[in-house]
Amino acid sequence: MSDFGPDDKIVHGGPVPVYVQIAGVLRARIKRGDWLPMRPLPGEQRLADEFGVARMTARKAVRVLADEGTVFVVPQRGAFVSAPEHSGSGDAQ
Amino acid sequence: MSDFGPDDKIVHGGPVPVYVQIAGVLRARIKRGDWLPMRPLPGEQRLADEFGVARMTARKAVRVLADEGTVFVVPQRGAFVSAPEHSGSGDAQ
DNA sequence: CACAATTTGTTCGTATGTATT
DNA sequence: TAATACATACGAACAAATTGT
């Protein structure tokens, strides 16, 4: 259970690489608040199982999020949701 | 850094295949003693990153060295520099 | 201290599809 | 047609560190 939404289907062989699609799903989940900041995402193997892909493909998806700063990876610990941005522009209190 | 020397530029689209060029660079490095016998070379992906090529291209370069006996590959471990030849008859060059 | 489970890191092996030469 | 080269994707295996029992 608690797979992922019906709109989170992963399409193989399409124009968008699987690992990019998975990164998108995870990004949306994070924004939705599925994992609070400083909380670890499921491990690479668990993500692989959930999405029905190889571990290295799930790993690549996590790396996309890490490269864009959405998460940070701690070896032997997991991938953690980064602290929220300071709300870019002005101070807005 | 510690890329490769200034004479180790890889030329794409030239008469010499990229994987052959890379094999040549690695061969020279081995003779230079960059990796001692029984020591592993960088992995295929690391070589690919260093030379700016796809992993399969770096892999093909390593295979050239393996086919000529310069290195031997151990699955899931790496490519190792072969023990030096007994220098033919036994005396110095 | 020992042991198992979990998790990231890294490696080679293989296959497919696409594009270029 | 064939060789080259890249990107993607899966598989298998081992290492090292952490965590829990």
Tally of structural domains, chain A: 1
B6 vs A47 pLDDT, higher one:
A47
Residue B8 belongs to a domain: no
Residue B2 belongs to a domain: no
Query: Which pLDDT tens digit goes with each residue over A45-59?
Result: 999 999 999 999 999
- CATH code (residue B40): 1.10.10.10
**Would you say residue A41 has pLDDT above 90?**
yes
B41 vs A1 pLDDT, higher one:
B41
Chain A residues 25-84, Cβ below 7 A from strand D: 52-57, 60, 75-77
CA distances from B66 to A70, B6, B38, B81 (A): 42, 25, 14, 9
Taking CB atoms within 8 Å and a gap of at least 24, the contacts of B62-70 are B62/B23, B62/B26, B64/B19, B64/B20, B64/B23, B65/B23, B65/B26, B65/B27, B65/B30, B70/B27, B70/B30
Averaged over A8-32, what is the pLDDT?
94
Residue B4 belongs to a domain: no
Residue A2 belongs to a domain: no
Residue B40 belongs to a domain: yes
Phi, psi of B80 (to 5 degrees): -115, 145
Helix (H, G, I), strand (E, B) or coil at B12: coil
Task: Give the Cα separation of B13 and A58 in Å (integer).
Answer: 34
B61 touches strand C (CB under 7 A): no
Residue A91 belongs to a domain: no
Task: Give the Cα separation of B69 and B85 in Å (integer).
Answer: 10
**Would you say residue A39 has pLDDT above 70?**
yes
Q: Which domain holds residue A22?
A: 18-86
The pLDDT score that the predictor gives to residue A52 is: 95
**Would you say residue A85 has pLDDT above 90?**
no
User: pLDDT band at residue A2, thresholds of 50, 70 and 90?
Assistant: very low
Q: Which nucleotides of strand D lie under 7 Å from a protein CB?
A: 3-14, 16-19
Residue B64 belongs to a domain: yes
Query: Which pLDDT tens digit goes with each residue over B43-81?
Result: 999 999 999 999 999 999 999 999 999 999 999 999 999
Give B79 CA → C13 C1' in Å. Answer: 14
B56 vs B4 pLDDT, higher one:
B56
User: What does pLDDT average to over chain A?
Assistant: 86
Residue B12 belongs to a domain: no
